[in-house]
A and B are shown apart, each in its own frame.
Chain A
């Protein structure tokens, strides 16, 4: 039920709507819950609404930290 998927905003439309790209498929969603959203940003889409704007820097930072801490080689010790 709480399944929600990332999609990139392609175009902001009038009346709090936006066109997004979801894995190559374009669809229209509503932006009532993310009034701050801008074109090009990633949002998480649930039940026809953008639920939040994703933080691309955090996405990259989390991966960087994980890949650093869990780099091939020695096993990390507590």
Chain B
């Protein structure tokens, strides 16, 4: 496959020229939100903003699972690690996010057993290796990651593994889009939809966005040509006064998504209300374990005392996640809050809007 052609500078420049024409035609400011931390990083790393006309504004929405994890949920993860004799397995992204009483990293430094891993399978292996130790996987992620966690739990269930459990903090993207659109927080003219969430979902779960709100959507990949193509398709929808869910990432996303992954999700998880940082509680936006899998629920297996959440003074992650502010608007940005000494999750996560802005600038 000629995948390297999706990074072609020449093709990128010509797509950018098309964007300039369409933006001039529009003659007004156009705000486009991406809802995927991988897009945030890709746009910043490739310097795509520098290719766009001044009236196209790219906003980073609530697309980074670490950034949208509520303080209370983070506190629960830290409390399970420190109040029970367990080993905790977590994605590296979550390891350093400060909770009310410190991060998982600090818990580890103080003696708790915390392992970082890139796959939930590491928790399965850790549980098999130490049958006498309880292993807890901190399950964060969107529809991309939740099927991997579901498949891991299905195996644990088949094997009758009794020392593995999951703290499910998984979240669903479409309900967050509705919350953003009904919250009146920022005017949004179009969404670049997350490519790898959509690999699983397909187009149908987003159909309400154009149908009810008249906002164009394009499912977009992660190379520079993919993202610029996504922007062209959004601007062309606006130009033609249309709103639909289109796919600019056809090599990976089919309109029906991945039904096998969704079947596995439905076996292990069912939607539940969930709290999002900055957005509050969103109905049916989280994933709880189904009755057949309740035994694997770490929140039930390991009750904890939780501290009163103390909001960070001055931190604007909430405004940034909802498109109401840019990283540079935050008084802490680059001063007390840096990737070395992060105050809020948007700076801790390698794909948070603040980390991207700090590393690559606003270009």
Contact = CB atoms under 8 A, between A and B. Distances in A.
Interface of A is mostly: loop
Contacts of A34: 258, 260
Interface in A24-75: 30, 32-36, 42, 44, 46-49, 51-52, 54-56, 58-63, 66-67, 70-72, 75
Interface in B13-46: 14-15, 17-18, 21-22, 25, 36-38
A45 to B, nearest CB: 10
B91 interface: yes
A34 to B, nearest CB: 7
Given A35-B260, A70-B18, A77-B21, A47 B120 contact: yes
A78 B120 contact: no
Nearest to A77: B21
Nearest to A57: B251
Contact of B148 (A46, A67, A71, A77): A46
B294 interface: no
Contacts of B229: 62, 66
A63 B10 contact: no
B357 interface: no
A15 B147 CA distance: 17
Which residue, B3, B25, B66, B140, has most C-beta atoms of chain A within 10 A? B3
Interface in B126-146: 140-142, 144-145
Contacts, number: 141
Contacts of A42: 1
B118 A58 contact: no
A56 to B, nearest CB: 6
B211 interface: no
A35 B258 CA distance: 11
Contacts of B248: 62
Given A1-B65, A2-B37, A54-B251, A46 B144 contact: yes
A68 B120 CA distance: 43
Interface in B32-70: 36-38, 64-66
B64 A1 contact: yes
B107 interface: no
B234 interface: no
A54 B1 contact: yes
A14 interface: no
Which residue, B142, B225, B236, has most C-beta atoms of chain A within 10 A? B225
Interface of A: 1-4, 6, 30, 32-36, 42, 44, 46-49, 51-52, 54-56, 58-63, 66-67, 70-72, 75-78
Interface of B: 1-3, 5-6, 10-11, 14-15, 17-18, 21-22, 25, 36-38, 64-66, 91, 93, 118-121, 140-142, 144-145, 147-148, 151, 154, 194-197, 199-200, 225, 229, 236, 239, 248, 250-254, 258, 260-261, 264, 349, 351
Given A62-B250, A75-B14, 11 more contacts: A1-B37, A1-B144, A30-B121, A32-B264, A42-B1, A44-B196, A47-B118, A47-B141, A59-B1, A60-B1, A78-B25
